[in-house]
Amino acid sequence: MLKKLLVLLALLTPVVAYGADKAKDDEPVEHLTDEQIYEQLKKLALVFEVARDNFVEEADEKKMLEAAMNGMLQALDPHSSYLSADDFKEFNDKSLGEFGGLGIQITSDRGAVRVISPIDDTPAERAGIKAGDYITHIDDEPVFDLTLNQATKKMKGRPGTKVKLTVISEGEEPRTLTLKRAIIKVESVKFEEKKMAGFEDDEDADKIGYIRISDFGATTAKELNKALEKLEDKDVIGYVLDVRNNPGGYLTAAIDVADAFLDSGEIVSTRGKRPNDIERSFAAPGDLANGKPVVVLINHGSASASEIVAGALQDNGRALVMGSQSFGKGSVQQQKPLGDGTAIHITIARYYTPSGRSIQNEGITPDIEVLQSKIEVLERRESLYSEASFKNSLKNEEAEKKDKDKSDGDDDKELTDEEKDALDYQLQRAMDMVRAMVKLQAHADLIPATPESIAASESDEGDASSEDEAE
């Protein structure tokens, strides 16, 4: 039995060696010799046998060994883990864009479960769970003794069944939420033309293309291309690309999304363990937004693939990034099947923005920080000093009738999409910025030529002509 265990554990040795260089700068790695590794594997097998033979109850050998492998991988970083056959199948099902559960992306944080972000229009999002929240109990069971995969599995279940979560938000008391599980269908891209709050009924008001990407899946790039095509037909003046609370997804999807807005330039580079493990991705010619102004909205729930897109458009000068500091997950994971239906989910590289910035633990810093805020109107649209302010001024009967009708219909009325947009401070400021960028472009086109600029232009043309003749 011991010999078989040593053979099994020896198969995992390359994984240990591969991840050994992944260490914090202040904790240098002390590499083991082959003989020392063999001695440690023998000790691990001995621990297994002693624990199995002496535990007060019947030991579950499979559970013990899977926990040992999972612990080995989670010692590398929070995103590496062992996937059982069921876990691996669920992971692949989720990648197809439909799965059962609560619609919540989580990570491990010092033994607790932390929310990266809820997925749009899911039980978790509707219950008010936010990026940065901590989940401490699932069905009254503490999560501190659970692996990330175990915590995820406990939150999943048959649609229609309920699960109870204890959630802690920053600066608030713990609260208990009961959520009903549902089939989670991830619709990556939603889009529409929007107008600034207060101008929805103005036919001449500027139309801005709003694109919300909630997840980077297998079909995201295709959905985005269709969205851009339809919005271009609407003659929008520019775009707001909203990746707030987007936890990430496929690296290839992020590259394709950034490429849709770029005509050239580097999008991202991934750098692995070895000096020559570098891959660079570049944009192909063709900006599907036709050079129109773009503002990217991010917040602390924007992670991984979202940060790749924001960083690529920011570094290439193609978009302004607004909002708050992003999550800071600058690593790439890959599934390595083990041949028996199981796999390991392991971090294989870090990614860097075109300017060479690593986002790991730092995130993307917005060009313009705009924290989500509640708008308080300090100035009336109608002046306090006007004809209506005079004593005994004539009334406008039609206006009084409209005010009465409006007040009669306001009771217990659910907010419309336009009213929700008006309360989204970051979105309103992003649309403000798009309009400002359009006007700035128009202003630059109208600047009259000066003698100096004409002379410089003629000089450039002469140089180009000389070069052509030399060829």
| Higher pLDDT pick, 225 / 424 | 225
pLDDT of 111 = 72
Output 290-293 pairs: Cβ under 8 A, ≥24 positions apart.
Answer: 290/232, 291/263, 292/236, 292/237, 292/238, 292/239, 292/438, 293/237, 293/238, 293/239, 293/319, 293/320, 293/433, 293/434, 293/437, 293/438, 293/441
Say what percent of the chain tops pLDDT 90. Answer: 51
Q: Which of 261, 318, 314, 255 is nearest to 281 (CA)?
A: 255
Portion of the chain with pLDDT greater than 70, in percent? 78
What are 189-201's pLDDT values in tens digits? 999 999 888 888 8
Q: What is the pLDDT of residue 460?
A: 55
Q: What is the mean pLDDT of residues 85-91?
A: 81
Q: Taking residues 106-117, what's their average pLDDT?
A: 82
Place of tokens 């989580």: 106
Q: pLDDT per residue over 198-254, tens digit each?
A: 888 888 889 999 999 988 988 999 999 999 999 999 999 999 999 998 989 889 999
Confidence of residue 263 (pLDDT cuts 50, 70, 90): very high
Per-residue pLDDT at 401? 60
- For 49-78, what is each residue's pLDDT tens digit? 999 999 999 999 999 999 999 999 989 998
Q: How many residues does the chain have?
A: 471
Residue 468: per-residue pLDDT: 38
Q: What is the mean pLDDT of residues 81-97?
A: 76
Q: For position 470, what pLDDT does the model report? A: 37
308 Cβ partners below 8 Å, 6+ apart? 251, 254, 255, 258, 267, 268, 351, 353
What are the pLDDT digits (tens) for 446-464? 666 566 665 665 565 555 4
Highest mean pLDDT pick, 123-132, 278-287, 404-413? 278-287
For 15, residues 6+ apart whose C-beta sits below 8 A from its C-beta are: 72, 73, 344, 346
Q: Is the pTM of this model over 0.75?
A: no
Mean pLDDT for the chain overall = 82
Question: Cβ distance 137 to 143 under 8 Å?
Answer: yes
Which domains does the chain carry?
2-85 (no CATH), 98-185 (2.30.42.10), 189-369 (3.90.226.10)
User: Rounded to the nearest 5°, which phi and psi values hold at 466?
Assistant: -60, -40
pLDDT tens digits along 31-55: 999 999 999 999 999 999 999 999 9
Catalytic residues: 304, 315, 329
Exposure b/e, 159-188, CB count within 10 A at least 16 = b: eeeebebbbeeeeeeeeebebebbebebbb
Give the residue, 309 or 118, on which the prediction is more confident: 309
